[in-house]
């Protein structure tokens, strides 16, 4: 099942981010589309999300994602972060399947670049758990939350000792 989800996530990544040439290298950025522009768009999107203007936010996120993918490549962590930040917009628009898809893609990018114990992975799993819960996938929700908690506890061994109780 894990292999099938990875294959699906890679397929989604290819479908969502179609800015690569046949040779597999990133196409040059179009005039005026720089990483600084993508960051400005992301800041604007945050404002739009708070104003509950999700349609405008989605359009700007897609543009920001395309710029980041073109400039940095599809497997870069900033592309993963853009996907991670796109999920709440889909969630608020009740597009749970799209939110799940972008979070799984972000998770794959994070796992490849940051390793299995990075805090971004725990945050992504936690956000994915909410999407699963809203989509009626309660068993998946519990499993995702448990995985997120394990990763958080692995990062803070002193907290784990406190939670375990006093030594006997």
Q: What is the mean pLDDT of each run of 10 residues along the chain (168 residues)?
A: 46 40 39 77 88 92 91 91 91 92 93 83 84 77 67 59 44
Give the whole-angstrom CA distance, residue 71 versus residue 161: 44
* Secondary structure class of 167 (helix, strand, coil): coil
Give the whole-angstrom CA distance, residue 131 versus residue 123: 13
pTM equals 0.66
Inter-residue contact 43 to 53 (CB < 8 Å): no
- Beta-bridged to residue 20, according to DSSP, are 26
Write out the DSSP string of 52-113. T-HHHHHHHHHHHHHHHHHHH-TTSHHHHHHHHHHHHHHHHTT-HHHHHHHHHHHHHHHHHH
Give the whole-angstrom CA distance, residue 95 versus residue 43: 22
Give the whole-angstrom CA distance, residue 116 versus residue 112: 8
Q: What would the two tokens of residue 41 be? A: 């768009």
From 150, 124, 55, 147, select the one nearest 94 (Cα to Cα). Answer: 55
As a CATH number, domain 34-156 is: 1.25.40.10
Structure confidence at residue 145 (pLDDT): 65
Structure confidence at residue 157 (pLDDT): 54
Structure confidence at residue 152 (pLDDT): 67
Structure confidence at residue 63 (pLDDT): 92
């Amino acid at each position: 099942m894990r292999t099938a989800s990875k294959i699906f996530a890679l397929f989604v990544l290819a479908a969502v981010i179609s800015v690569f040439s046949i040779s597999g290298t990133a196409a040059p950025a179009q005039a005026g589309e720089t990483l600084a522009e993508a960051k400005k768009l992301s800041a604007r999107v945050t404002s739009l999300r708070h104003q509950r203007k999700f349609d405008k936010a989605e359009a700007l996120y897609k543009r920001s994602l395309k710029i980041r993918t073109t400039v940095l490549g599809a497997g870069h962590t900033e592309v993963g972060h853009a996907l991670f930040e796109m999920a709440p917009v889909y969630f608020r628009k009740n597009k749970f399947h799209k939110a799940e898809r972008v979070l799984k893609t972000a998770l794959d990018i994070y796992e490849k670049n940051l390793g299995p114990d990075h805090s971004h992975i725990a945050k992504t799993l936690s956000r994915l758990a909410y999407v699963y819960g809203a989509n009626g996938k309660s068993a998946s929700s519990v499993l995702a939350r448990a995985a997120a908690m394990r990763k958080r506890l692995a990062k803070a061994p002193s907290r784990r000792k406190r939670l375990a109780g006093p030594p006997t």
